[in-house]
Amino acid sequence: MNKINRKLWKYHGGLHLEEHKSISTGQQSALLPLPKRLTIPMQQHIGEAAHPIVDVGDKVLKGEMIAEASGKVSAPIHAPTSGTIVEIAALPVPHPSELNVLTIVLESDGQDQWCERYPIENYRHASSEQLRERIHDAGIVGLGGAGFPSYIKLNPGQHFAIETLILNGAECEPYITCDDQLMRERPEAILNGARIMRHALHAKRCIIAIEDNKPDAFSALNNALSQSGQNDIELVMVPTLYPTGGERQLIKVLTGKEPPSQGRTLDIGIICHNVATAAAVADAIIDGTPLISRIVTITGEAISTPQNIIAPVGAPIEELLDFAGRESGVNTQLIMGGPMMGVSLSNTNLPIVKTSNCFLLQPAEPTKPESPCIRCGECARVCPAELLPQQLYWHSRAKEFEKVQEYNLFDCIECGCCSWVCPSNIPLVHYYRFAKTEVWAQEREKEGANIARRRHEFRLERQEKVEREKAERMRKKKAMLKDKEGAKDDTAKKAAIQAAMDRAKAKREANQVDSTISASDSQPKSEL
């Protein structure tokens, strides 16, 4: 038994929420019947969108790469099943912007035929670089929701020694149970993934943290660990409190340490990955399988049998909702993610992406009217990042973006605790999200202006240089001409004069001869 009495710490704030988790964990996760048409967006991760490497009409096999990573912070995308590429176009994606993003549409041939896969026989003999390359090529991104390319988080660089690898199985948000279900059903994959990641990071120790409302998941992992005969991973039960699943909050609970404000967990020798990411890593290394499907929680009061579904990337949300059954005759609202941090989507005809952990279908409720802030301070009491949500709200509202940053807006994890407790129903997180994206836009504009300035200055410099060179050339040419003329003056002119004089002389002489001849000629004439 690996459960030890470990000292745990507490972070500031947090909320005890109604869990609503048991409604979707009653059954094994089901495999979604293969959809006919998969719409696979090129942007399923943080960073640059992937770049398609297939054309319309191409036949692809399951697991074949259809889009390559463009740039460092990017991830390739693979065909979730075998079939034909029928369209490459900008289509709507599950994103709060509801903008269109370049998408590859794959029509399944129903064969589900795998391409050749190349597992790594023994990861213990592989180098960190090899493992990272394989994880990159498998298109693995953080499956906890953020979608940051995982290979980067396995490359701490030489300056950082990694003390602890934490696998986050806290899953603290209400309703969501996909990680719970995965831990129950595939504990070996998670443990193997943990070992591979630890090997790649050379981490001294590895902890898997699970909230104590998931005893089944804990015992499944614990059994798998004792069966594996290795005692290299520590399983830790952490108290259920929202948002313990936040990276910083979990680190605080487990180690008592806090990463610096706006710094990285790397700075204190810790790397955090989601348990589902670990399972995907194990699949990529041990089976050679890229990330092409995931487990998604379909739940909510408007779903008849809430459950977890294993669905290929690109499957329409509609099909998952229909699979789980929708309550008829209810006006519903679709939320992507959980009730605290999720965003509502107005369109259900969107695809599942790598980061889709949960879809929540709730009966539509009118939004509660917003009232003025009464400065009660509840928000500051619950804020797990120890910020001052009221101040952030005032300044975001007044669009004072420098001030919001002074109040550490970017340490806000958007957990939604402040909005939840606000007696005035102020959508506080919405204000913070607005302010964050505005600040980023301003930074981009500033960057753009700096580039424009540099280009303009360079242009002016170049024009000046061209002018200068032209003037220089003119000057040189003039000088050369003058030189030439001078030279002519000296020699050519003299030569010309000399030549002219010679010519004149020759002429004169010729004339003299001529005249004598003519004289001798003329004499008889004159005699005539």
Binding site for another protein (CB under 8 A): 43, 49, 93, 95-97, 99, 101, 367-373, 427, 430-431, 433-434, 436-438, 440-441, 444-445, 448-453, 455-460
Is the Cβ of residue 41 or residue 169 nearer to another protein in the bound state? 41
With the CA atoms of 21, 23, 27 and 28 taken in that order, what torsion angle do they form, in degrees rounded to the nearest 10?
-40
Is the Cβ of residue 257 or residue 403 nearer to another protein in the bound state? 403
Q: How many Å apart are CA 205 and CA 234, to the nearest integer?
A: 8
Chain position carrying tokens 């009061």:
301
Q: How many Å apart are CA 363 and CA 326, to the nearest integer?
A: 11
Q: How many CB atoms lie within 10 A of CB 60?
A: 22
Is the Cβ of residue 38 or residue 435 nearer to another protein in the bound state? 435
Q: How far is the CB of 456 from another protein (least distance, A)?
A: 5
Whether residue 296 contacts residue 308, with contact meaning beta carbons closer than 8 Å, is answered with yes
Amino acid at 410: F
Q: How many Å apart are CA 432 and CA 438, to the nearest integer?
A: 10
Q: How many Å apart are CA 136 and CA 123, to the nearest integer?
A: 15
Q: How far is the CB of 415 from another protein (least distance, A)?
A: 16
Is the Cβ of residue 420 or residue 434 nearer to another protein in the bound state? 434
Q: How far is the CB of 477 from another protein (least distance, A)?
A: 24
Residue 203 DSSP class: -
Is the Cβ of residue 42 or residue 79 nearer to another protein in the bound state? 42
Minimal CA–CA distance to 154: which of 167, 145, 144? 167
- The residues, any chain, with a CB within 8 Å of residue 144's CB and separated by 6 or more, are 168, 179, 245, 274, 276, 277, 357
Instruction: Please list the residues that pair with 107 across neighbouring strands.
Output: 37, 84
Is the Cβ of residue 216 or residue 443 nearer to another protein in the bound state? 443
Q: How many Å apart are CA 438 and CA 487, to the nearest integer?
A: 72
Q: How far is the CB of 141 from another protein (least distance, A)?
A: 14
Q: How many Å apart are CA 293 and CA 255, to the nearest integer?
A: 33
Minimal CA–CA distance to 420: which of 383, 375, 372? 383
In angstroms, how far is the first alpha carbon of the chain from the final one?
A: 155
Q: Over the Cα atoms of the chain, what is R_g?
A: 38
Q: How many Å apart are CA 243 and CA 269, to the nearest integer?
A: 22
Q: How far is the CB of 30 from another protein (least distance, A)?
A: 30
Q: How many Å apart are CA 384 and CA 445, to the nearest integer?
A: 32
Q: How far is the CB of 453 from another protein (least distance, A)?
A: 5
Q: How many CB atoms lie within 10 A of CB 25?
A: 21
Is the Cβ of residue 37 or residue 95 nearer to another protein in the bound state? 95
Q: How many Å apart are CA 177 and CA 210, to the nearest integer?
A: 12
Minimal CA–CA distance to 302: which of 324, 283, 285, 273? 324
Is the Cβ of residue 99 or residue 510 nearer to another protein in the bound state? 99
Displacement of CA 127 from its chain's centroid (Å): 25
Is the Cβ of residue 83 or residue 416 nearer to another protein in the bound state? 416
Q: How many Å apart are CA 409 and CA 391, to the nearest integer?
A: 10
Displacement of CA 243 from its chain's centroid (Å): 23
Strand 358-363 and strand 332-336: pairing? antiparallel
Is the Cβ of residue 56 or residue 460 nearer to another protein in the bound state? 460
Q: How far is the CB of 247 from another protein (least distance, A)?
A: 22
Q: How far is the CB of 103 from another protein (least distance, A)?
A: 11
- The residues, any chain, with a CB within 8 Å of residue 401's CB and separated by 6 or more, are 395, 435, 438, 439, 442
Is the Cβ of residue 449 or residue 517 nearer to another protein in the bound state? 449
Residue 287 DSSP class: I
Q: How far is the CB of 28 from another protein (least distance, A)?
A: 34
From residue 451, how far is each of 47, 81, 360, 454, 457 by CA, in Å? Answer: 21, 44, 44, 5, 10
Is the Cβ of residue 95 or residue 257 nearer to another protein in the bound state? 95
Is the Cβ of residue 279 or residue 429 nearer to another protein in the bound state? 429
Q: How far is the CB of 88 from another protein (least distance, A)?
A: 17
